[in-house]
Structure 1
Amino acid sequence: MILIAHDEYSGISEYETMVIRDAKSLNKFYAKINRTRKPGLPVPTLDFSKEIVLVVCLGEQKGKKLLTLSSNEETENEVSVSIEMVDSDEVEKDKVQYVSYPFYIYKIPHTSKTINFEKIGW
């Protein structure tokens, strides 16, 4: 899994994951997150015949968090992906923590298997 994009503001207020398998869907996602940006974030160029995109929107977060994605198990029909969040070392307990709505976009090799996301340690 390769992180290709990340930002602290998605405009998406609830936790959400998605698997994007075509350019049209990726453009639609970017249209949503670029709604309040001028200029907007550039849409990555990908070859969807060779790779697909995993999107994780964390919803409202207080303070700085770090996200890691890892592949757990792979069966004949599905792939399990773990999502783990940890507090950043930069967080100081006495300071006011800002609110963010981060998103992460990863690319993986193309697969037609079902992708299941699993939260760990939330």
Structure 2
Amino acid sequence: MRLLILLICLLGISCSGQKGASKDKADSTIQNSKELQLVLKDNYSGIEESEFQVVRDPKALRNFFIQINKIRKPGLPIPEVDFSKELLLIYCAGTTRGVGGSELLLIKNSQDSIVFGPKEQSPSKKEFTQVTTTPFSIHKMPLTPKEIGFRKSD
């Protein structure tokens, strides 16, 4: 009987531990602005040159996923987006050494434009790894009439 109660307690603790971990991850997805949310991030896009895209329709999103899923079996699922209310920002960092380095950072938000740039990767992740990756990230934000731009880091 004690063994059964102990097993149930351990099972309950492990399940609630998983819930806490996913909640922490969800909280960390909000960047500088509550409007910019990380939807998906991965280290392998297969896109070797740095690029930035503003996606306003499902066809463009589907084309991006066709490209990144060429080498995946099974492929990454296409996120559900209401393009009547939201748009997506896709940043591919190109070929890099190390992992990560593909998240966006809000640089400027004026009356008529919004400018994003790459979030700097910590040097410790770059220095000690010999892994070559092609990271990307997809961020979601509310639909805006403002011009959206991208500025590469110096």
Class of the TM-score when normalised by the shorter of the 2 chains: 0.7 to 0.9
- Select which of 86, 91, 112 maps to 1:56: 91
Correspondence for 2:146? 113
Distance of 1:37 and 1:83 partners within structure 2: 25
Gaps in structure 1 of 5+ consecutive residues: none
Q: Which runs of 4+ in 1 moved over 6 A?
A: none
- Residue 31 in 1 paired to residue 66 in 2? yes
Gaps in structure 2 of 5+ consecutive residues: 1-35
Deviations 1:55-105 (A, max 9, x none): 000110112344442323233332111322223645563xx5100001000
Say what the alpha-carbon RMSD is for the aligned residues: 1.8
Conservation of the 8 A alpha-carbon contact between 1:12 and 1:101: yes
Distance of 1:11 and 1:67 partners within structure 2: 13
State the identity as a percent: 38
Rg: which structure is higher? 2
Conservation of the 8 A alpha-carbon contact between 1:65 and 1:88: no
- Select which of 117, 121, 124 maps to 1:86: 121
What TM-score do you get using the length of structure 2 for normalisation? 0.69
What TM-score do you get using the length of structure 1 for normalisation? 0.86
Correspondence for 1:3? 38
Of Structure 1 and Structure 2, the greater strand share is in 1
Q: SS where residue 119 of structure 1 aligns?
A: coil
Conservation of the 8 A alpha-carbon contact between 1:65 and 1:87: no
Distance of 2:95 and 2:106 partners within structure 1: 25
Distance of 1:74 and 1:83 partners within structure 2: 15
Report the number of matched residues: 119
